[in-house]
Amino acid sequence: MKERQVRIGSMSLDPHRQLAGGGKSVPLGRKALDILSVLAKAGGATVTKDELLALVWPGVLVEENAIQVHVASLRKALGVEADRLTTIRGIGYRLDLGVGRCAGATGVAAGEMPSIAVLPLRIIGTGGRHAVIAEGLPHELIAQLSRLHWLFVIARGSSFQIRDPDPDMPTIGALLGARYCLSGTLEQVGDRIGITIELVDTHSAQVIWGDHYSSLAQGIHELRASIVASIITALEFQIPLHEAHRATLNSPEDLDAWALYHLALQRMFRFTQVDNDTARALFEQAVARDPHFARAHAGISFTRFQNAFMRYTGDTQAEATAARRSAERAIELDPADPFANLVFGRSMWVNGDVAGSLPWIDRALMLNPNYAQGAYAHAFADSILCHGEDGQRHADRAMALSPIDPMHYAMMGARALSHAVRGEYAEAARWSDSAARAPNSHVLIAMIAVACQALAGRELRARTWADAVRNRDPRVSRSDFFQAFPFENCNVETTFSQALGSLGF
């Protein structure tokens, strides 16, 4: 993990753990520096006393007052910035970094990326023997959310200190340094358990998203994993959406790298040339503000992939090469980021190696099993490689994970292809029709519909979609289709070629 200099008001802490102020080094004991480093890495979140003891004195039994001694010397060394180090009575300590915060592997500072605190569920009534879920479920959510490199997750040791029956979200946000807070309730009524979840913007106290889960008490533990997956997927959609909305309230010159990134995401998934160009420009601005922002480099790779895939430009190979180059930079900066791994796989796809893309897409799903984009990319790759059954499975997984995804039409298109390569033309026609009729579906999805309808013998429907394709892009051809979907099996390619050829493509 690369670290940069941390600003603490008028002072700084460099990567070699030297504190400086007024152009001079400030002498400070090793343990006090250790404490300062831990607090700085927390990015403004509260660090509990237990966490400090474990991190600063690992494996050593130390009295709690040892922290107080070193914190006192730390405050003295900070001088005029001492009030940035706050004691949270009975819990721990918090360091207010202000604007320039400690950066991790993604290159984006903790103070810039969205942060979230997950509170233990509030039990309504007794909770019965299932009351353990009130802490167990949030604990699992914290563990899963911590795998998302774009989200700063407050540690359980801090967030589980909040047990107010009527929590004040702005206060909690200020206390924990969290922009978002996930809270909820657990109630058992008769033989059923109900779990209600809310995601709140702590700055405005606005409820952004909420859901309710209900189950027979005896089956709640079997459903726990699916509930966690459902919540994680919802947060992956709702938080970026809200971040993009917040970014639109500011002028571009006032936006940080993270806000620019989310504005770009909104445009990128519209799959039009104008929106894709706008997205790339925004990603490039994000990289200019923070060259170590791995996800912005990954975003540039995706827009270059889209240029090659949709043939927006005259030089498809140049776009494919650029997609690979930006993907390599994203992987170099953050090899454990799912989005970086996904775009690396997709860059291999447009560079002619669809089979070689699968290990990278698999790695993205290993890093985040709830990654709907990864599942749907896998479905397309499976179908192109004529692994129809695997394609159906991954397409279904993607749609289950993200039923209101902006790319839902593409997931249905992948499902259609997965049926077509298996010769299940009636099912392929049904799925392709739904995919092509969905809002924002692009012209290649309509071409899938043309082929699948023709293969199913639905000539009138096939001609309707062929006319729609030509109205959208009179230049599109069979070669464009096979450039995007280079089927491994030549018999499958021949079958699709004949179907498209019968409609004049």
DSSP-assigned letters across all residues of 287-340: HHH-TT-HHHHHHHHHHHHHHHHHT-SS-HHHHHHHHHHHHHHHHHH-TT-HHH
Question: For residue 142, what are its two tokens?
Answer: 């914290």
Q: What is the pLDDT of residue 127?
A: 61
Report which of residues 337 and 377 the model is more confident about: 377
**Given this model, what pLDDT does residue 115 score?**
86
Average pLDDT over residues 497-502: 96
Q: What is the pLDDT of residue 216?
A: 86
Backbone angles phi, psi at 413, to 5 degrees: -65, -40
Token pair belonging to 263? 């504005």
- Look at residue 174 in the predicted model and tell me its pLDDT: 82
Name the more confident of 290 and 459: 459
pLDDT, averaged across the chain: 86
Laid out side by side, the sheet with 92-95 consists of: 47-48, 92-95, 85-88
Of residues 145 and 318, more confidence is placed in 318
pTM comes to 0.67
Mean pLDDT on 46-56: 81
Percentage of residues in the chain having pLDDT higher than 70: 92
Q: Cα separation of 421 and 379, whole Å? A: 12
CATH architecture of the domain covering 6-95: Orthogonal Bundle (1.10)
The domain spans of the chain are: 6-95, 115-248, 371-501
Q: Both tokens of residue 39?
A: 């607090």
In this prediction, residues 404-422 reach a mean pLDDT of 92
Q: Which helix (H) or strand (E) holds 244?
A: helix 220-248
Q: Which CATH number fits domain 371-501: 1.10.287, 1.25.40, 1.10.3120, 1.10.260?
A: 1.25.40
> Region 198-219: what's the mean pLDDT?
89
- pLDDT for res 238: 87
- Structure tokens, 281: 């420009």
Least Cα distance to 93 among 54, 42, 160 occurs for 42
**pLDDT single digits (tens) 99-156:** 433 333 344 444 467 889 999 999 988 766 677 788 888 888 987 887 777 788 887 7
Question: Could you read off the pLDDT of 25-37 as tens digits, one per residue?
Answer: 788 888 888 888 8
Mean pLDDT of 80-101: 72
Percent of the chain with pLDDT over 90: 43
Does CATH number 3.40.50.10070 belong to domain 115-248?
Answer: yes
323-359 per-position pLDDT tens digit: 999 999 999 988 888 899 999 999 999 998 999 999 9
In 10 A of CB 253, how many CB atoms? 6
Q: What are the pLDDT digits (tens) for 276-311?
A: 999 999 999 999 988 988 889 999 999 999 999 999
| 124 SS3 class | strand
pLDDT at 410 over 60: yes
One-letter amino acid identity for 132? V
Confidence of residue 419 (pLDDT cuts 50, 70, 90): very high
What is the C-alpha separation between 434 and 444, in angstroms, rounded? 14
pLDDT the model gives residue 258: 78
Assess whether pLDDT exceeds 70 at residue 260: yes
pLDDT reading at 459 higher than 90 = yes
Q: Does the pLDDT of residue 393 top 90, yes or no? A: yes
* Cα dihedral 436/438/443/446 (nearest 10): 0
Specify which residues 212 forms β-bridges with.
196
Say which residue, 2 or 31, is predicted with more confidence: 31
